[in-house]
A and B are shown apart, each in its own frame.
Chain A
Amino acid sequence: MKNVSALVAGMLFGAGLVIAGMTNPAKVLAFLTLGAGWDATLIFVLGAAVIVAATGYALVGRRASPLFDDEFHAPASTVIDARLIGGAALFGVGWGLSGFCPGPAIVGALTLDIRAVVFLIAFVVGVLAYERLLAPPVATRVDG
């Protein structure tokens, strides 16, 4: 059931990204580029997603455990450090250069958008480079 549940979650997420227009990097760049012609619609994407997720998380949080696992795995760290800020800043640079973030890049690549294919291959190279060169010991790693 874990795999089916993850497949369903991925499908909802992928469909949502396409319907929201997030898989079109020109639309994302039109949101990130301030000035004349600014496209504010992505605020509604993020706003709707946050309202639904915040409501759902609050309801699910009343449960003792998830449906198909023994415990919840939400990250517990509250540390705001140079890795968090530096990583977010680097991500912002790449996002602002391309209009692609990981979710839309995966959806785009799997629906054969050549731009997303190129971006995603480079993304994987970046992830592997991080794992080889920059990753902290496994015990201290925190995923958000």
Chain B
Amino acid sequence: MISAVIGGSLIGLAAVWLYLSLGRIAGISGIAANALKANAWPLMFVVGLGAGGWLAYALTGGRPQVSLDENQALWLIAAGIIVGIGTRLGSGCTSGHGVCGVSRLSRRSIVATLVFLGVGMLVATTVAGVLS
């Protein structure tokens, strides 16, 4: 609970800092797409994501040990392609719509967030039911 609130507050702070300093919305799918085009500040933001991740793992007791089998890999590949297309088509993801857009009371972002939360819950709950 405490770590959820601390982590969420840092995410909010990051969004505010990016808006105060550069006037930009912290939408990660959009920033990632621009980083792929070798734009400077989006690339630096992505580098920061990794650096912040390493720092947080160092402070909180290390990275988890994870493994991956072939079925999981195929599953993740399908999901990754769908998320790549969907977030560009819908102009945002959890960060751009869910955190920044909702905070700005953008109607587009509130609708998008309700849709991806609802669909995400439907899909995850259905898959869990089928696999159990």
Q: How far is the CB of A46 from chain B (nearest CB, A)?
A: 6
Q: How far is the CB of A33 from chain B (nearest CB, A)?
A: 5
Q: List residues 36-60 of chain A with CB under 8 A from any CB of chain B.
A: 41-42, 44-57, 60
B22 touches A5 (CB 8 A): yes
Q: List residues 73-92 of chain B with CB under 8 A from any CB of chain A.
A: 73, 75-92
- Additional A-B contact list (16), CB under 8 Å, known A95-B116, A108-B53: A1-B21, A16-B52, A42-B4, A73-B22, A73-B25, A74-B19, A85-B115, A87-B86, A88-B90, A93-B82, A95-B123, A102-B28, A120-B80, A123-B32, A123-B84, A124-B36
The winner among B5, B11, B46, B51 for most chain A CB atoms within 10 A is B11
In terms of DSSP, what is the predominant structure of the interface of chain A? helix
A14 touches B12 (CB 8 A): no
The winner among B14, B18, B93 for most chain A CB atoms within 10 A is B14
Interface string of B46-68 (1 = CB under 8 A from A): 11111111111100100110111
A14 touches B51 (CB 8 A): yes
What total of A-B pairs shows CB separation below 8 Å? Answer: 485
Closest to A32 in B: B124
B125 cross-chain contacts in A, Cβ below 8 A: 32-35
B111 cross-chain contacts in A, Cβ below 8 A: 80, 84-85, 88
Count contacts on A: residues with CB < 8 A to the other chain: 111
Check if A137 is an interface residue, CB within 8 A of chain B.
no
B21 touches A84 (CB 8 A): no
- Contact pick for A106, options B3, B21, B28, CB 8 Å: B28
A12 touches B13 (CB 8 A): yes
Please report the C-alpha to C-alpha distance between residue A86 and residue B90 in the assembled complex, in whole angstroms. 7
- Contact pick for B119, options A1, A50, A93, CB 8 Å: A93
